Amino acid sequence: MNIKYTKLTKRWHFAYTFKKIYCRIFQSCFKLVIPILPYRTPEILKSTSLISYICMDNHISKVMVITDFTVHQLGILNRMCEHLDHHSISYVIYDKTVANPTSDNVEETKNLYLSSNCQALIGFGGGSSMDCAKAVGARLARPKKPLSKMEGILKIWKKLPLLICVLAIARTGSETTLAAVIVDPKPTLSLPPFITACTGMDALTHAVEAYIGNSTTKKTRAYALKATKLIFENI
């Protein structure tokens, strides 16, 4: 019994050490490659009222808004929708996104996007709505590749439809990577103090992680320091 246990422990240690070495080598190589990857810096908009102009510039007349039931019911989308109406841009709202969105959420939204002939995606709310919107974008770009095959990085290699993310809670915006970002504080005003505090602490954790992470860039670390300062002074 003891001999078997020792053998298993040894095997586990070997697998663990091998995985650790593999991860460190991968991280170091990735750090070297990052500067030459075609990453796009997200465009930052100051208000949701500007979304209509982005759509018009891109000849988009119908968008899909991905959110959750609470955000929809609280009327937080209203201001953006009024601007879209004003500029004759139609929209379809999907408000069934659940916390940590499921692949069913993604497939349902993708099908609705296609059947409604939408041309762009707007993720509105918290990280779950952003993630759902990003995953829908990935599925639209690679319709033959299931989500399960997209785990990891550098799996899409195709242009996604225009993706706009509007954060309605206190966050660092890490959920909005590789997308147009709206930094409009107004939607966050309805957030209860407790959730503001919790999501603010989560944002602080993201900032610290970004600073100490092994594969981050000089720019990321500068943003991380700025985020930490802002969160410390404002939450």
Ligand X SMILES: NC(=O)c1ccc[n+]([C@@H]2O[C@H](COP(=O)([O-])OP(=O)(O)OC[C@H]3O[C@@H](n4cnc5c(N)ncnc54)[C@H](O)[C@@H]3O)[C@@H](O)[C@H]2O)c1
Number of residues lying near ligand X (CB under 6 A): 22
CB-based contacts of 191, cutoff 8 Å, min separation 6: 168, 169, 170, 199
Listed ranges 56-64, 65-73, 78-86, 137-145: which one lies at the site for ligand X (CB under 6 A): 65-73
The correct pick among 63, 76, 140, 181 for binding ligand X (CB under 6 A) is: 76
Over the window 24 to 63, marking each residue x when it contacts ligand X by CB under 6 A and - when it does not, the resulting string is ----------------------------------------
| Closest alpha carbon to 161 in 108, 124, 122 | 122
Among the candidate windows 22-30, 81-89, 119-127, 214-222, which touches ligand X by CB under 6 A? 119-127
Judged by CB, which is closer to ligand X: 45, or 77? 77
Q: Which stretch binds ligand X (CB under 6 A): 53-61, 66-74, 144-152, 213-221?
A: 66-74
CB within 8 Å of 54: residues ≥ 6 apart: 43, 45, 162, 164, 180
Site string for ligand X, 124-143 (x = CB under 6 A): -xxxxx-x------------
Secondary structure class of 146 (helix, strand, coil) = coil
Query: Site residues for ligand X, window 84-113 (CB under 6 A)?
Result: 99-100
Separation CA 39–CA 141 (nearest Å): 17
Q: In what order do the strands lie in the sheet with 180-182?
A: 44-45, 180-182, 162-167, 120-125, 62-66, 90-94
Stretch 165-224 residues interacting with ligand X (CB under 6 A) = 168-169, 174-175, 177, 187-188, 190-191
Which amino acid is residue 16, in one-letter code?
Y
Tell me the two tokens of residue 79.
């201001």
Determine the Cα angle at 171 with ends 169 and 176, to 5°. Answer: 100
Output 146 or 185, the one with its CB closest to ligand X.
185
Residue 89 or 135: which CB sits closer to ligand X? 135
Please report whether residue 161 would count as binding ligand X according to CB under 6 A: no
Structure tokens at 31: 């750090």
Dist. CA 164–CA 110, nearest whole Å: 16
CA–CA dist 217, 213 (Å, integer) = 9
| Closer residue to ligand X, CB minimum distance, 127 or 200 | 127
* Min separation Cβ 32 and ligand X, Å: 22
Q: Minimum Å distance from CB 215 to ligand X?
A: 14
The binding site for ligand X (CB under 6 A) comprises 68, 70-71, 74, 76, 99-100, 125-129, 131, 168-169, 174-175, 177, 187-188, 190-191
